[in-house]
Amino acid sequence: MNSRVAGVCLVALWMLVFSLAVMTGSGIVDWADLLVSGTVSHQIVSEVRLPRALLASLLGGGLALAGASIQGVFRNPLADPALIGISGGAALFAASYLVIVPYSDFMLIGLSASAMLGGVLATGLVLLIGGRQTDVATLLLAGIAINAICLAGVGLLSFLAPEQRFRSVSFWALGSFNHVGWIDVFLGFVVLPGILRLMMLASVLDVLTLGDVEARHLGIQAKARRIEVILWAALITGVSVSLVGIIAFVGLIVPHWVRMTIGARHVLVLPFSMIAGALLLIAADWLSRWLIAPIELPVGIVTTLLGAPLFVVLVARWSRGVWL
């Protein structure tokens, strides 16, 4: 598929879904009052739907970009940020905050800070276990172990949490945009430095996929660049988890689909993954509000329901040499 045509189609589709997410929902909007400040219709669109759509686009793009970068670093198309413990660490610290700390006006700030701290500490622990070698196999095994421990801790906290907080812990752990406002959107812009830096590392990721020996011959410090990519991915994932909880499958399915349809060069994989990730997450959030309205599903469940079947189909077609 021609990359320019694919890019235009993806952007157009994202704009369409973005418009649908902003203009439609369970709340009734009077289009005559939409541009009149202070009306109910104006508040629904400007204070609820628009920030949700913007944050879903920003975090969806960031998670997909982080996933593509992690897959390039580990030379494994099935890798994603959760595999190296980032999501698990952030979830554990955020769940601990929800269970232990009393409700207050600063709940969001404390929850976000706790989740980001957990993601950074989990990443640091994985790198510490990896030691000086920081080889791919060691980091993957350490990440899987740390992630399993953290998710077990989240399950234990859910079991021990008081009844009035159990739903908050479980719902947040599955991802939700139902509390999002403009403050969350502004906090979400923290991921922009990570997004820009990972984009700049596209050519380095191409070299890293060749292996450490080839990278060294080409003048690339493989270990240092690998750690840098992991830390930037940890920042993006930690911020995402801190704001909306764990969002499954975006960092896994989107880069894999891009590589199978667009190509394997990271100069294409990274930007296309970002656009497709934004599209997937905003569509999933829109569906989470519509499927069993007025009840809202956790968006992590919707991304899994959307991503898992598609992932199976893509792998099956690819294994038979059939391209989309």
* Domain assignments of the chain as residue spans, ordered by start: 3-319
Predicted confidence at residue 1, as pLDDT, reads: 55
Please name the residues in contact with 124: beta carbons below 8 A apart, sequence gap of 6 or more: none
Rounded to the nearest angstrom, the gap between the alpha carbon of residue 262 and the centroid of all alpha carbons in its chain is 21
**pLDDT of the chain, 324 residues: tens digit per residue:** 577 888 889 999 999 999 888 888 776 666 666 666 767 777 778 888 899 999 999 999 999 999 999 888 877 776 777 777 788 888 888 888 877 776 655 566 677 778 778 887 887 888 787 665 555 667 777 888 888 888 888 888 877 776 666 566 666 677 888 888 888 898 889 899 999 999 999 888 888 877 767 777 777 777 788 888 888 888 888 888 888 888 878 888 889 888 888 888 889 999 999 999 999 999 999 988 888 777 788 888 888 887 778 777 766 766 665 544
**54 touches 48 (CB < 8 A):** no
Predicted confidence at residue 107, as pLDDT, reads: 60
- Amino acid (1-letter code) at residue 31: W
Predicted confidence at residue 323, as pLDDT, reads: 45
Q: Helix-strand-coil percent breakdown of the chain, rounded to 5?
A: 75, 0, 25
**140 touches 79 (CB < 8 A):** yes
Predicted confidence at residue 53, as pLDDT, reads: 92
**261 touches 220 (CB < 8 A):** no
Please name the residues in contact with 111: beta carbons below 8 A apart, sequence gap of 6 or more: 94, 97, 98, 242
Reported as type and span, the H/E element at residue 144 is: helix 136-160
Predicted confidence at residue 147, as pLDDT, reads: 83
**127 touches 161 (CB < 8 A):** no
Predicted confidence at residue 293, as pLDDT, reads: 72
Predicted confidence at residue 281, as pLDDT, reads: 93
Reported as type and span, the H/E element at residue 228 is: helix 222-244
Measured CA to CA, the distance from residue 51 to residue 187 in angstroms comes to: 12
3-state secondary structure of 270: helix
DSSP summary character for residue 65: H
Measured CA to CA, the distance from residue 251 to residue 231 in angstroms comes to: 15
Task: Tell me the CATH number for domain 3-319.
Answer: 1.10.3470.10
